[in-house]
Structure 1
Amino acid sequence: MPEQPGTGGHAGRLPHRIETDSESVQRDLAKLVLTIIELIRQLMERQALRRVDEGNLHEDQEEELGMALMKLEEAMGELRDHFGLTTEDLNIDLGPLGPLLPRD
């Protein structure tokens, strides 16, 4: 198996050095937090769509929910832009399980 850069000849292991400069730490923490928020946002969106499809909401509730989800998606875009991240950056690869977030 070919050696991966920074692994010291052991594929799949952590590199000998972990980036600890404050900018990298801040960006990585932002990436993790935004990934969790994006996962929750997508779950909320699916739940809302299910409730709409089942007819469990009044028309005004559907409107409020739709507006709230749109605002949240817009805020997520602004946060991604602020930290220089893309939607794909937030989709953590879980190895054999595949990506964390579904690809719409």
Structure 2
Amino acid sequence: MEHQPQKSGRIQLDPDNVEQGLSQLVLTVIELLRQLIERHALRRVERGNLTDEEIEKLGTALMNLELKMEDLKEIFDLDDEDLNIDLGPLGNLL
């Protein structure tokens, strides 16, 4: 029987399945960084600080990163909800 992550909005660190909880935590951090990079890139584009070539490269890099994240979520049987961990009184992370 394969372990399915619980949809509680919390990182699951089950002693019998540490890999799943660790992959959830790592992918959550990566997704947070990906979103921050994307927002920063959009601000740079809006300010006009980039050439057309730089915008093209940046767009391609961001699309590739998003595709890779989708691949990793599939490999580790996670979805967007699993990466949006509950920070208690601070609300959800993503």
TMscore range, shorter length: 0.7 to 0.9
What is residue 56 of structure 1 aligned with on the other side? 49
Query: Where does 1:25-104 land on structure 2 (aligned, <5 Å)?
Result: 25-101=18-94
| Structure 1: 5+ residue stretches without partners | 1-17
Alpha-carbon distance in 1 for matches of 2:81, 2:53: 33
For the 8 Å contact 2:14–2:21, the answer to whether it is kept is no
Alpha-carbon distance in 2 for matches of 1:38, 1:91: 9
RMSD over equivalenced CA pairs, Å:
1.0
Q: TM-score, normalised by structure 1?
A: 0.76
Alpha-carbon distance in 1 for matches of 2:60, 2:14: 40
Higher relative contact order, chain-length normalized (CA < 8 Å, sep 6+): 2
Structure 2 residue 14 is matched with structure 1 residue 19: yes
Q: TM-score, normalised by structure 2?
A: 0.84
Greater helix content: 2
Q: What is the letter of the counterpart of residue 19 of structure 1?
A: D
* Cα displacement string for residues 50-70 of structure 1 (whole angstroms, at most 9, x for unaligned residues): 000000000000000000000
Quote the offset at 1:96 in angstroms. Answer: 1.2
Q: Who wins on radius of gyration, i.e. which is larger?
A: 1
Alpha-carbon distance in 1 for matches of 2:92, 2:72: 21
> Number of residue pairs matched?
82
